[in-house]
């Protein structure tokens, strides 16, 4: 069975794509790109957590376990306790100065994550809910409830409610997400991931660390391929405070080029690809 982290890997590609490096210098576009980059960083925290969640919930047994990563190049411990509520599995993950050697991020995690999973990812019904209790990443407090729910064949609703990150400097970033993710290619090859293609639609809103209300609305479905490190298609309308921009990721080609339009001017930008 394919790893359910693919659905979150797609999210990682999205926020990596938001981290832009302008090819043409312009004060207005650089300001918008900076704000978009900060917004993308918040997504990385929540998607980083979901990769952890997937790694645990795909474990082949339901026994309590403790995973120590020092010998693998990581550090600290991650302890799992599993229980059942009817047909729903509940995993409680306790982190103590944990750095996941398998992760793309060298981040220290502490606290508790609770995961409730009902049904099978590829089954007729599937729902997973993730909550946090005094959970921090690099000392930044992560809050909220994230849910993935199957709504149709190969279609999943992704929501984040009451999302909030309190950073070590006392600033906060709030987040509400409503998105639909559709698995459009590759589901018929369950043991080969690199032909998978997803689309993403929806909106995210909140208040950023500078006190500005933001909205990014997907106006043309984003498309990402597991064989490509960048988004390959789609359009986002981004509003942060009184600043507005449109980000266009192209028409399907696998390249690191996107176009940002601000005040009627279009700028070519290069995507950093999650570096």
Q: pLDDT tens-digit profile of 127-179? A: 999 999 999 999 999 999 999 999 999 899 999 999 999 999 999 999 999 99
pLDDT of residue 25: 56
Contacts of residue 170, Cβ cutoff 8 Å, sequence gap at least 6: none
Q: Residue 104, Cβ neighbours under 10 Å: how many?
A: 13
Q: Can you tell me the distance from the alpha carbon of 95 to that of 255, in angstroms, rounded to the nearest whole number?
A: 37
pLDDT exceeds 50 at position 4: no
Burial class (CB in 10 A: 0-12, 13-18, 19+), 275: exposed
The domain in which residue 32 lies consists of 5-271
Give strand ranges (E) for 100-212: 109-119, 126-137, 140-152, 155-166, 172-185, 197-207
Structure tokens at 246: 């449109």
Q: Is the pLDDT of residue 61 over 90?
A: no
Segment 205-227 mean pLDDT: 90
Number of domains in the chain: 1
| Rounded Cα gap, residues 188 and 243, in angstroms | 43
End-to-end, the C-alpha distance of the chain in Å comes to 29
């Amino acid at each position: 069975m394919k790893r359910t982290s693919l659905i979150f890997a797609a999210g990682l590609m999205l926020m990596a794509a938001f981290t832009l490096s302008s090819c043409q210098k312009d004060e207005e576009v650089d300001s918008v790109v900076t704000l978009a980059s900060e917004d993308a960083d918040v997504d990385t925290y929540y998607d980083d957590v979901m990769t952890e969640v997937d790694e645990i919930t795909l474990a082949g047994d339901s026994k309590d376990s403790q995973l120590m990563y020092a010998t693998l190049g990581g550090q600290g411990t991650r302890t799992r306790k599993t229980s059942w509520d009817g047909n729903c599995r509940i995993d409680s993950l306790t982190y103590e100065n944990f750095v996941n050697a398998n992760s793309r991020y060298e981040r220290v995690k502490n606290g508790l994550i609770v995961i409730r999973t009902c049904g099978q990812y590829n089954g007729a019904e599937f729902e997973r809910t993730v909550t946090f209790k005094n959970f921090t990443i690099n000392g930044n407090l992560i809050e909220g409830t994230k849910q993935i729910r199957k709504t149709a064949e190969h279609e999943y609703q992704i929501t984040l409610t009451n999302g909030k990150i309190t950073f070590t400097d006392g600033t906060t970033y709030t987040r509400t997400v409503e998105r639909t993710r559709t698995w459009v290619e590759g589901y018929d090859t369950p043991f080969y991931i690199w032909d998978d293609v997803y689309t993403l639609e929806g909106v995210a809103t909140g208040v950023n660390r500078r006190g500005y209300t933001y909205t990014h609305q997907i106006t043309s479905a984003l498309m990402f391929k597991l064989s490509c490190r960048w988004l390959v298609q789609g359009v986002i309308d981004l509003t942060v405070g009184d600043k507005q921009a449109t980000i266009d990721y192209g028409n399907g080609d696998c390249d690191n080029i996107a176009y940002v339009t601000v005040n009627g001017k279009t700028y070519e930008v290069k995507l950093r690809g999650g570096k």
